[in-house]
Amino acid sequence: MQEGRVLSTREINRDLLRSILDTPRWFWPVVTVLGLILLVAAIAIGIMVNRGLGVTGLNRPVAWGFFITNFVFWIGISHAGVMLSAILRLAKAEWRRPATRAAEVLTLFSLMTAMIMPIVHTGRPWRILYWVFPYDFARGIWPNIRTPLVWDPSAILTYLTSSTLFVIIALVPDFAVLRDHTTGIAHRVYSVLAMGWEGNARQWKLQIVAGVLLSALILPVFVSVHSIVSWDFGMAAAVKSWHSTVFAPYFVVGAVHSGVSAVAFALILLRWCYGWQDYIRHEHIDALGRLLIVVATGWFYFLVMEILFGMYGREADELMVRQTQFTYWPYNFWFILFVITTYFIPVALWLSRAWRRNLWIMSIACISVNIGMWLERFLIIVPGLINKQLFTFVWADYRPSIFEYIIIGSTFALVTLLMLLFSRVFPLVPLYDVKEGDVLRTQVQIGRRTVPATFRED
Amino acid sequence: MVTSRIDHKWGMVVDLDRCNGCQACVIACQVENNLPINDKNAFLQNRAYEWIRIERYWEGDYPNIKARFIPVMCQHCENAPCEPVCPVFATYHNDEGLNVQIYNRCVGTRYCINNCPYQVRFFNYWHPNWPERLQNQLNPDVTVRTRGITEKCTFCIQRLRRGQIQVERRAGGELNDGTLKSGNHMPACVQACPTNALTFGDQNDVHSPVKPYFEDVNRYNIHHEKERKTRGYRVLEEMNTKPNVIYLKKVDPNLGGGHHG
Ligand code: SF4
Ligand code: SF4
């Protein structure tokens, strides 16, 4: 039996454009609350810039803390976009269709949010220009290309550019639909954005070729971004638990794990907010859950390897870091919570088909993964710095201050707000992709069972 | 005025047998280099500035317990891990064997702090403040660093530069171990140490007291440690950072040979 009704084009347009054409009642209150959170965070950042980084809990051994943790976390989330759109597109996984746009947009916004973090982290944001952009002709000094901190902005900006292109190319046909559904200023804006889209055969062909090309080209970028972020740590010879070769694949798989979970959660939220039951169906969430079991298990393998490689050398300082992670309060608590929330709770939930189709349980599993992945980054960054090298005399603990908590919390509000605003202006479920999926959808008879299938021309 | 070029390679030797943990070097450094006063808060926040610090370790069990002191300053690594990670070249190696920090280039990523195995880099979390009556004691030869940048031991480069100007340019002579001492062109900690635990000199100067130690330690690397003729070793030698600071082991007849306990 085919899940979900077969909808007419008119119905699809009406439902999916509902988020844009009329304002839901909860919209403004939610936006106001999120805006207030951001305002508080802006004040906190203002105070921090004015008085100095002393207001944070950072200290002498722990020079990187919450901000960098959060940076890595949001970079991780941003890996969902390409995973879902590019890889699944190339793999022709049909169930990806409604999820792609939300995933790509989440990629964009989480990348932007991630980029704020190092800027906040340095304490004097205006100086960053001179590191990120090689503009410094007057002094004749170019950035030092040996440092991962220069590879970072290059990789992230490349990723941001290519994902933006990806989103725009996928949006063009939908802009055309919007152009035809609006009047006045909105009509004119969408006309410009639609770039003269008429939906003729040549335009479709170009659009599809561009999409496939970009999918293929973006894949190396996808792998490189989080690898390079992991080398921020991997290249640090002086911090024992960071200096590990397994970090690049470990971080990439971890990023996909947290990113895809975040997208699944975002889809559930959107379905609930805008009543898109016919588009984001249980089968889609179910498929994401099945994908996540594989990703989570791959990630777990790397986690075990990372610990094993670390302990295998039996170096006193490395063992000390592990001891901190596993046995010292509060890190032992965070460590147990991290392993349980990242792997054991969600995978146990995903193993059951009924639970994968229960949206509440899926939400819990997806949130749990992201709590765990945040803790993972924290547990990598901080214990390594607390017990850096054998100079026990200068070991010290790290207590984040209220400023760090506020700023970290606000990044979640920022991404949510950006997603909400986006959903008011652009369709978050790609109209043409859903329609195409509907056209290709059919049923085949296998023995006594009828199963959903997809026709492909090629 | 151009003089003939003299290739210096500065180095320091720290004799752990002589250090008694008096902290005179720490204070001398504090005064010479315009370090902010480390008040109680600085220590409570783990943000005290000690370009040279005396690490104190306890060895043995009560009642045979001994305090051990290790002065740790920037080791001016030839193979410095802090240098390649700075995105803006705020820290780099100059041709005199010094690891130097350019304060107004620093953007504050703190990557170098993480990547220094000796933990001798300090970040200005707050703007430095001195009490009113201490404003006039600031050393005019040394920059007062603003908040948001990283700083560390410079081997008192201002004193070395003064020596180069006074001896090499004006007097036309050579800045060597003798002229370093006579003009007090050595680092403040070396000058202040009452027990002469710290020795500073030019590794390229044949008469320098530091030269034999560097030669010995360079000749026999970590794998041939046993063959060394002197007590010299480098801290965290296995990291291959090749510091320009050499430590001389403490020799304690009462504790060696497994007779303790
Ligand atoms: S001791 Fe630390 S700061 Fe000094 S050169 Fe070596 S790595 Fe750099
Ligand atoms: S001044 Fe000399 S004896 Fe005193 S702590 Fe410093 S190195 Fe040791």
Q: Is B180 in the pocket of ligand 2 (CB under 6 A)?
A: no
pLDDT band at residue B222 using 50, 70 and 90 as cut-offs:
confident
- Per cent of chain A over pLDDT 90 is 48
Q: Would you say residue B4 has pLDDT above 60?
A: no
Higher pLDDT, A7 or A163: A163
For ligand 2, atom 3, the nearest C-alpha belongs to B19
Q: Alpha-carbon torsion A439, A441, A444, A449, what sign?
A: negative
Probe site for chain A from B38, B46, B75, B118 (most A CB atoms < 10 A): B46
Predicted confidence band of residue A33 (pLDDT cuts 50, 70, 90): very high
SS3 B64: coil
Burial of A333 (0-12, 13-18, 19+ CB in 10 A): exposed
Reported as a single tens digit per residue, the pLDDT across A343-372 is: 999 999 999 999 999 999 999 999 999 999
Contact status, residue A242 vs residue A236, Cβ threshold 8 Å: yes
Give the pLDDT mean for A112-141: 80
pLDDT at B259 over 60: no
Quick one: average pLDDT of B205-227? 91
> pLDDT for A281-338, tens place per residue?
888 888 889 999 999 999 999 999 999 988 988 888 889 999 999 999 899 999 999 9
Measured from the CA of B115, which atom of ligand 1 is nearest?
7
The predicted structure's pLDDT at residue A434: 77
pLDDT over threshold 50, residue A117: yes
Q: Is B119 close to A388, i.e. CB distance below 8 A? A: yes
Closest-CA distance of chain A to residue B53, Å = 10
pLDDT-derived band at A412 (thresholds 50, 70, 90) equals very high
Q: Taking 70 as the threshold, does the pLDDT of residue B2 lie above it?
A: no
Distance B149 CA to ligand 1 centre (A): 16
Q: What three-state secondary structure class fits A12?
A: helix
CA distance A327 to chain B (A): 23
Average model confidence (pLDDT) across chain B: 89
Whether ipTM exceeds 0.95: no
B156 CA to chain A: closest CA distance, Å?
A: 22
B42: Cα within 13 Å, side-chain hemisphere: 17
Cβ-defined contact of A238 to B105 (cutoff 8 Å): no
Average pLDDT over residues A8-14: 79
Burial of residue A328, with CB atoms counted within 10 A of its CB: 0-12 exposed, 13-18 middle, 19 or more buried: middle
Q: Would the pLDDT of A455 be above 90?
A: no
A vs B: CB pairs below 8 A: 129
CATH class of A9-454: mainly alpha
Split at pLDDT 50, 70, 90, the class of B5 is low
Give the distance (Å) from ligand 2 centre to CA of residue B53.
10
The whole-angstrom distance between A329's CA and the closest CA on chain B is 19
Locus of tokens 């050595």: B186
CA distance A156 to A226: 9
> For B63-107, how does the pLDDT look when each residue is reduced to its tens digit (9 = 90+)?
888 889 999 999 999 999 999 999 888 999 998 989 999 998 899
SS3 B218: helix
**pLDDT by residue (tens digit) across B20-51?**
999 999 999 999 999 999 989 999 999 999 99
Element (H, E) at B188: helix B188-192
| Cα separation, B20 vs B69, whole angstroms | 7
Percent composition of chain B: helix, strand, coil (DSSP 3-state, to 5): 25, 15, 55
Percent share of chain A, pLDDT over 70: 93
- Kindly state if the Cβ of B54 falls inside 6 Å of ligand 2: yes
Structure tokens, B4:
């003939």
Residue B210 has phi, psi (to 5 degrees) of -85, -20
Which residues, including other chains, have CB under 8 Å from residue B90's CB and lie 6 or more apart? B101, B102, B103, B105, B106, B107, B112, B149, B150
Q: Give nearest CA residue, ligand 1 atom 2.
A: B116
Distance (angstroms) between ligand 2 centre and the Cα of B28 equals 10
Report residue B17: phi and psi, to 5°: -70, -25
The pLDDT of A407-411, averaged and rounded, is: 95
Gap from A2 CA to chain B (nearest CA, Å): 55
Q: Which has the higher per-residue pLDDT, B157 or A11?
A: B157
State whether the beta carbon of B74 lies less than 6 angstroms from ligand 1.
yes
> Cβ contact (<8 Å) for A391 and B124?
no
B92, B241, B244, B247, best to mutate for ligand 1 pocket (most atoms within 8 Å of CB)? B241
Q: What's the mean pLDDT in B141-158?
A: 93
Minimum mean pLDDT range among A72-76, A139-143, B16-20: A139-143
Give the model's pLDDT for residue A8. 76
C-beta of B60 in contact with ligand 2 (< 6 A): no
pLDDT band at A139 (very low <50, low <70, confident <90, very high): low
Q: How confident is the model at residue A56 (pLDDT cuts 50, 70, 90)?
A: very high
A458 pLDDT above the threshold of 70: no
pLDDT of residue A6: 66
Q: Is the CB of B198 under 6 A from ligand 2?
A: yes
Query: What are the two backbone dihedrals, phi and then psi, of residue B56, each rounded to the nearest 5 degrees?
Result: -115, 125
Respond yes or no on whether the N-terminal peptide bond of residue B63 is cis (omega within 30° of 0): yes
- Is the CB–ligand 1 distance for residue B73 below 6 Å? no
Cβ contact B166:B178 at 8 Å: no
Q: Are A107 and A81 in contact (CB under 8 A)?
A: yes
Q: Say whether pTM exceeds 0.90.
A: yes
Contact A377, A334 (CB under 8 A): no
Q: How far apart are CA A280 and CA A271, in angstroms?
A: 6
φ/ψ of residue B237, rounded to 5 = -60, -30
Please give the Cα distance from A121 to A386 (Å, whole number).
18
Answer yes or no: are the C-beta atoms of B70 and B55 closer than 8 Å.
yes
Fold of B10-248: Alpha-Beta Plaits (3.30.70)
* Chain A residue nearest residue B106, CA to CA: A127
Better pLDDT: A434 or A1: A434
Query: What distance in Å separates the CA atoms of residue B187 and residue B12, rounded to the nearest whole number?
Result: 10
């990629």: which residue's tokens?
A107
Q: Does B104 touch chain A (CB under 8 A)?
A: no
Distance separating alpha carbons of residues B42 and B36, to the nearest angstrom: 10
Collect all residues of chain B within an 8 Å Cβ-Cβ radius of residue A236: 81, 85, 111, 114-115
Nearest to A147 among B87, B105, B113 (CB): B87
Q: Quick one: which ligand is closest to B86's CA?
A: 1
Residue B255 pLDDT > 60: no
Question: Given pLDDT bands bounded at 50, 70 and 90, which one contains residue B257?
Answer: very low
Q: How far apart are CA B261 and CA B244, in angstroms?
A: 36
**How far is the C-alpha of A47 from the C-alpha of A41, rounded, in Å?**
10
Stretch 287-346 of chain A: residues touching chain B, C-beta under 8 Å: none
- Coil, strand, or helix at residue A60? coil
On average, the pLDDT of chain A sits at 87
